[in-house]
Amino acid sequence: MTGSSARGQARFWGALTIAVLLLVAVIASIAIGSRTLSPSEVWDALWATKTAHSSDAVGIVQDLRLPRTLLGIVAGLALGAAGALSQGHTRNPMAEPGLLGVNAGAACAVVAGVYLADISSPIQYMIFGLLGAAAAVALVFVLSVLAGRMAGTAGASPMTLVLAGVGINAVLLAVTSAIVLTDSTSLDAWRFWNVGSISGRGFDVLWAAVPFVAAGLVLAVAGGFSLNVLSLGDDATKALGAKVGRVRLVGVITIALLAGAATAACGPIVFLGLAAPHIARMIVGPDYRWIVPYSAVIGAVLLLAADVLGRVLGRPGEVQSGVVLAVLGAPVFIALVRSRRLVSV
């Protein structure tokens, strides 16, 4: 069997396995919760027409579990794809969307919104978080371009992107800390949002996030070939006629759309954007035309699985999915590194 045919079979069986896992995760997310419902009750409630006299099961399934499941899929797709783009554009196997200021920008904007504008609803958190994430990523890119020009290069480079992201993260975290330490209302809001969760969000938050994530996914999948070229190095990319600055700018905008929308809707969810691309590379190899879509679907599977696990472990309450991923993510990632060396990006 040739190498190409073996890789093709790995991609096929990998896609089939991931699709089955996603289906199982979706079913579990709708069926499992703090309130025990039989499979027939869940099925009937899922398709029932909601009225003022509907049963509690209808309200639980349609108002709580269904939007939560759909948001988990959307946010997981976004964070998985954004993680692959972050590693590709920075050529850093340990990169994830938060490295470019997404999490810090969203957190700072949410805290500032509570402090200055007295925001309180999830949709308001969503709007402020998205604006903050976009502003932070834009500032990182501008500083990266300026630093690159001062160093004598054409613009943003993987190194200047990372350095600018670290600097902006530090500044925004300092501003956030200053606000929450002086205002108890902002502190309470920040603690609720910062844990990272897909619970407690309704269809309004979901529909607000979908357009940004959809646009970001289209750009991410379309940019797979450009990431393959960038992996050869900036000089080789220029020699092939590609516009490095333009490709990197589009990539940063795509990361802002994907990770910004997901983080604004759910809060910062760690590990997902870091692990999903490495799992995808184990299946499809180094080709970003495959890594990006596989990372997106793997991200959705991981987020839904963590959310369901949190409901099971925390009964009669629940453990937030961000906490589950943070606790389980570190040992799983260490095992991944020990079992297979990280692929160079």
The position carrying tokens 């269904």 is: 66
Concatenating the DSSP letter of every residue in 298-314 gives: HHHHHHHHHHHHHHHHT
Q: Which of 104-113, 296-305, 323-332 has the lowest mean pLDDT?
A: 323-332
pLDDT above 60 (res 312): yes
What is residue 194's three-state secondary structure?
A: helix
Q: Rounded to whole angstroms, how far apart are CA atoms 131 and 123?
A: 12
Average of per-residue pLDDT values in the chain: 85
Q: Rounded to whole angstroms, how far apart are CA atoms 59 and 51?
A: 10
The count of domains in the chain is 1
Per-residue burial over 240-260, b if 16 or more Cβ lie within 10 Å, else e, is: eebebbebbebbbbbbbbbbb
> Which helix (H) or strand (E) is 134 found in, with range?
helix 122-150
pLDDT above 70 (res 168): yes
136 vs 3, more confident:
136
Nearest partner of 82 among 96, 93, 103, judged by Cα: 96
| pLDDT one-digit tens code per residue, 133-158 | 889 988 988 888 887 777 666 566 77
Give the pLDDT score at 50: 75
pTM (2 d.p.): 0.90
| pLDDT one-digit tens code per residue, 29-42 | 999 988 888 888 88
Instruction: Give residue 234's domain range.
Output: 3-46+55-339
In a domain, 138, yes or no: yes
Query: Are 289 and 222 spatial neighbours (Cβ–Cβ below 8 Å)?
Result: no
Query: CB atoms < 10 A from the CB of 275, how many?
Result: 22
Over residues 174-194, the mean pLDDT reads 86
310 vs 6, more confident:
310
Instruction: Provide, rounded to the nearest whole percent, the portion of the chain with pLDDT above 70.
Output: 90
In a domain, 344, yes or no: no
In a domain, 291, yes or no: yes
In a domain, 345, yes or no: no
Give the pLDDT score at 339: 61
In a domain, 123, yes or no: yes
In a domain, 20, yes or no: yes
Give the pLDDT score at 340: 54
Over residues 240-269, the mean pLDDT reads 85
Cβ neighbours of residue 67 under 8 Å, at least 6 residues apart? 201, 202, 203, 205, 206
pLDDT above 80 (res 6): no
CATH number, domain with residue 285: 1.10.3470.10
Categorize the per-residue pLDDT at 16 as very low, low, confident or very high, splitting at 50, 70 and 90: very high
pLDDT above 90 (res 5): no
Categorize the per-residue pLDDT at 53 as very low, low, confident or very high, splitting at 50, 70 and 90: low
242 vs 269, more confident:
269
Categorize the per-residue pLDDT at 26 as very low, low, confident or very high, splitting at 50, 70 and 90: very high
In a domain, 35, yes or no: yes
Q: Which of 74-78, 216-220, 337-341 has the lowest mean pLDDT?
A: 337-341
| pLDDT one-digit tens code per residue, 259-302 | 999 998 898 888 899 889 989 998 998 899 999 999 999 999 99
In a domain, 328, yes or no: yes
Over residues 99-112, the mean pLDDT reads 89
Q: Rounded to whole angstroms, how far apart are CA atoms 202 and 221?
A: 28
Give the pLDDT score at 154: 58
Give the pLDDT score at 235: 67
How far apart, in Å, are the Cα atoms of 256 and each of 11, 274, 334?
Answer: 28, 16, 28
> Which helix (H) or strand (E) is 282 found in, with range?
helix 272-284
Over residues 22-32, the mean pLDDT reads 95
Nearest partner of 194 among 216, 209, 212, 173, judged by Cα: 173
What does residue 139 show for φ and ψ, rounded to 5 degrees?
A: -65, -40
